[in-house]
Amino acid sequence: MSIDIQHVGVVGAGRMGAELFRFFAGQGLKATLVEKDGAVLDKHRLDFLKDLDRALEAGEIDEDAFHERKGAAVFSASLSDLAGCDLVVEAIVESATKKKALFQELDGLAKEACVFTSTSSSIVPSAYAPDTARASRTFGLHFFHPPAPVGVVELIRSPAGDKDVEADLVDFLDGLDKSHFLETEADAFVVNRCIITLQAQAYRFVEEGRASFAQVDALVKERLLTPGVFELMDRVGLDVTYPSVARFTRMQPEIAEFTAPLEKILGRLVDQGRRGAKSGRGFFDYEGGDLVLTEKPEALSVDVADQLAQRMKLLLINQVYYFVTRQVALEADLASYLQEAFGVDVGIEQWMDGDDLRGIGRELKALHDSTGDAVFEPNGPLADFDEDEESLAATCDETPPRDGGDDGPDQEAPAP
């Protein structure tokens, strides 16, 4: 059952839900925002109308566009107002139980052709799809924050996902000028999972007393990720990041021991009510959503800074090749998605600082041998240097045939 998506409903007016609603409304779509908290809903309605007024006064839109967008935007506290939607995007709390209950209720309200999606960053569709035929029309649609400028969206398909519905969603994303990254549930949320070991390494340096949160983020903003490590988690929300880390490590158990300290501190902060920027406190303090630092952090020593930056880059590259080896994505694609989502503004070759894959593999293997951490074990082609060197050693030990004949071992030049 193919469908032309013209009416989008968003459930949940948190940071992501509210911004998704604004994005859809700005794309000429009819958009309905459903939020049970009346005060929150009224605030978003007033903010939306004020922004429309400002856009009209600034000449960004004309009178026709003003009235069209105003008339196409619906604010409601009732799920029944989603009955006519072609697509529903859920953006409530990161709980599979609550998401599933929502979709079960919506299943009895929405029209048969409506597609259900969640913008969850860590929960797969089969965990929240309703127990009806609608399961085939339920997908993950993970937008990154902020949804308007970030040009990539992860489209997650469950084993029950209908191919025609998938094609409709791809067409929809193309119409929004969004690149889509199609993922199965076994290899879902790849972009976030690429940086999880990097985040864990950053926290380990803090836990060991080698750097402060502010020092790490200053270094990371300079060398790796535009938003930093700890500020990024604060912006996403520690109450979202905490369960996400737990789910990601279940998907990739070999990293669980390495990420355990990060998961532990996230749980402790959430228990203390420190949910990140939205609560005013996380790893850092915030006022009105703005980061508050009482003083500029002292620069790390060159040795510590270089070691931390290099380890994080090695872990990032190793995670990229974890997915490349599983044939989930190409290096160039993952580099592009990481740039879109997190501001990693260099390509995979530049992450390597000019080293070839063997050099990266050797560094990872040396760290694996010295630390015993499985997370440093080279993935895919990064591990090929072992075989190359063993082959070369065996070749050097061979006595060449005296007559120069063909009875010696075949030899190939090592790959560059």
Asked if residues 263 and 242 have their Cβ atoms less than 8 Å apart, the reply is yes
Q: Is pLDDT above 50 for 80?
A: yes
Asked if residues 350 and 329 have their Cβ atoms less than 8 Å apart, the reply is no
Tell me the C-alpha to C-alpha distance, in Å, between residue 141 and each of 119, 120, 172, 232: 5, 7, 11, 20
* C-alpha–C-alpha distance, residues 115 and 4, integer Å: 11
Tell me the C-alpha to C-alpha distance, in Å, between residue 228 and each of 169, 218, 245, 283: 32, 7, 17, 12
| Model pLDDT for residues 310-328, shown as the tens digit of each residue | 999 999 999 999 999 999 9
Q: If we measure between CA atoms, which residue out of 188, 139, 7, 191 comes closest to residue 84?
A: 7
As a whole number, the mean pLDDT across the chain is 90
Let me know if domain 7-188 sits in CATH 2.60.120.10. Answer: no
* C-alpha–C-alpha distance, residues 42 and 46, integer Å: 6
Please tell me the predicted confidence (pLDDT) of residue 352: 61
Three state DSSP letters for 317-363: HHHHHHHHHCCCCCHHHHHHHHHHHHCCCCCHHHHCCCCCHHHHHHH
Tell me the C-alpha to C-alpha distance, in Å, between residue 363 and each of 131, 269, 348, 359, 382: 49, 34, 16, 6, 10
Name the amino acid, one letter, at 63. Answer: E
Q: Is pLDDT above 90 for 346?
A: no
Confidence category of residue 395, pLDDT binned at 50, 70, 90: very low
Q: Is pLDDT above 50 for 414?
A: no
Which of 1.10.10.10, 1.10.1040.50, 3.40.50.12500, 3.40.190.10 is the CATH number of 190-394?
1.10.1040.50
In degrees, rounded to 5, the angle at the alpha carbon of residue 145 between the alpha carbons of residues 144 and 150 is: 65
SS3 265: helix
pTM over 0.75: yes
* C-alpha–C-alpha distance, residues 58 and 217, integer Å: 37
Please tell me the predicted confidence (pLDDT) of residue 354: 63
Strand 138-143 versus strand 290-292 pairing type: unpaired
Domain ranges in the chain are: 7-188, 190-394
